Amino acid sequence: MTKPLTTTNHVDNRAATASRRAISLTDLWFTYYNGTTAVRGVSLDIRKGEFFGLLGPNGAGKTTLIKTLVTLLKPTTGHVTVNGVDAVEQPVAVRNSVGYTAQDTSVDPELTARENLQYACKMYRVPQVERADRIADLLQLVGLEDVADARADTFSGGMRKRLDIATSLVHRPPLVFLDEPTNGLDPAARLRLWEHLREINAQGTTVFLTTQYLEEADHLCNRLAVIADGELIARGSPAELKQQVGGDTLEITLQTTTPTDVARARRAVLESDHLGEDAHVGLTQDGLVISSPRTRQIGTKVLVALEERDLSVTQFNIRSPTLDDVFLTLTGETFDETHQEKATLSSTEHVNEEVNT
């Protein structure tokens, strides 16, 4: 028996919108039995085909939010609709239509990669005739064809994670959830995984990813939301979020740091005509700090301008805004509330103020 999910006899605008949505959250709250409220009034719509990123520090509520979306947790209040289906009323329908990769890699170490995938196929009742092909495709997608028959306990962390992701795709879900998939991976493994995730999204799968790294979200996602203390505090494209921070920062260390030299250097940079209107040039203890949406394009020109005036640069560094910068801009607080972090933070703020003058 198939339950009709929306009325299709007559035109219904709401239904039409719903069918374009992969996820619809309305005023979602979640409180654990120990009294911790992990999600506070989140409303969110995600369209089909999006690569969506949920950005936030540890303990912000990312995992709880994902768990309510994949039917591992029931919302305390609010509505969760996944692929047009109410997650509380029809959890099995939701389970059939989503893939989920938990934060901690979950593969059976005693089974081979192929056996793990076979078990997943059976869990999702993939017809037997299709299994072999599908498993071969997935092994290729995540680059594990050569080790398909090796036990998962011989794999590196990155390989296990890729296998884990492949097992969540056996039923070809139109929507996948990845909870901090690159956590604990080395940079090479991370880059490789990014490629696989892009490929999955390019094949038409909607991806919902959580991460602690703005860089990662920037590379992968076309839309982001930032979560802090269970509330969404910002949303938009990666570019829009970074704009709030004010772009990349170029830090320059000068050889001579007498006040006159530093002031001369600042004048040189300002007069060099390479900076846009929205750039800021500030002073630090041993040089300059320049921030602009076009920092990467103007960097070399700035260095040349300084060199031309015999101002030697001993060190320079271009830094992307980190999630911490975004967070700082949005909330005025950093991730970690340790005293030391706060101390560094206030000195950063100080620099930023100088930059803006």
Partner 1 sequence: MRRADAGEHFHRSPASKSVVLRDIWTNFERWNLKAVRNPFTLTVSVVMPIIWLVGYTQVFKSLTLLPGFPADSYLAFFSPAVIIVMAMFAAATSGMGLVDDMDMGIFNKQLVSPMNRSAMFVGKICSEALRLAVEVLLLLALALALGAHVVTGLGGIVAIVLIAELFSFVFVAFSNIVGLVTRRSDATALISNFITLPLVFLSSSFVPRSLLPAWIQTISAFNPVTYGVNAIRALMLDGWVWTTIGPAIGVLVVFDLVLGGFAVVLLRRATDSGTTPSVRGHR
Measure the CA–CA gap between 305 and 320, rounded to whole angstroms: 23
Nearest one of 137, 134, 139 to 124, comparing CA atoms: 134
| Closer CB to partner 1, 206 or 295, in the complex | 206
Residues 137-156 touching partner 1, rule: CB under 8 A, are 151
242 lies in the binding site for partner 1 (CB under 8 A)? no
Residues 154-213 touching partner 1, rule: CB under 8 A, are 167-168, 172-175, 179, 203-205
240 lies in the binding site for partner 1 (CB under 8 A)? no
Region of 99-107, 240-248, 276-284, 307-315 interacting with partner 1 (CB under 8 A): 99-107
For the chain, give me the number of helices (H) and strands (E)? 13, 14
317 and 256 in contact (C-beta within 8 Å)? no
Count the site residues for partner 1 by CB under 8 A.
Answer: 64
Nearest one of 332, 43, 193, 21 to 211, comparing CA atoms: 193
Q: Which of 40, 47, 96, 341 binds partner 1 (CB under 8 A)?
A: 96
Q: At what angle do helices 113-123 and 128-141 cross, to 10 degrees?
A: 130
End-to-end Cα separation, the chain, in angstroms: 68
284 and 331 in contact (C-beta within 8 Å)? no
The distance of closest approach from Cβ of residue 161 to partner 1 in the complex, given in angstroms and rounded to an integer, is: 12
User: Residues 31-60 vs partner 1: string with x where CB under 8 A?
Assistant: -xxx-x-x-------------------xxx
90 lies in the binding site for partner 1 (CB under 8 A)? yes
352 lies in the binding site for partner 1 (CB under 8 A)? no
Nearest one of 199, 200, 193 to 213, comparing CA atoms: 193
Please say whether the dihedral angle defined by the alpha carbons of residues 133, 97, 67 and 226, taken in this order, is positive or negative: positive
105 lies in the binding site for partner 1 (CB under 8 A)? yes
Residues 11-30 touching partner 1, rule: CB under 8 A, are 19
Residues 267-326 touching partner 1, rule: CB under 8 A, are none
Measuring CA to CA, how many Å separate 44 from each of 15, 20, 40, 214? 17, 14, 12, 19
67 lies in the binding site for partner 1 (CB under 8 A)? yes
Q: Which residues bind partner 1 (CB under 8 A)?
A: 1-3, 5, 19, 32-34, 36, 38, 58-64, 67, 70-75, 83-85, 90-93, 95-98, 100, 102-111, 115, 119-120, 122-125, 151, 167-168, 172-175, 179, 203-205
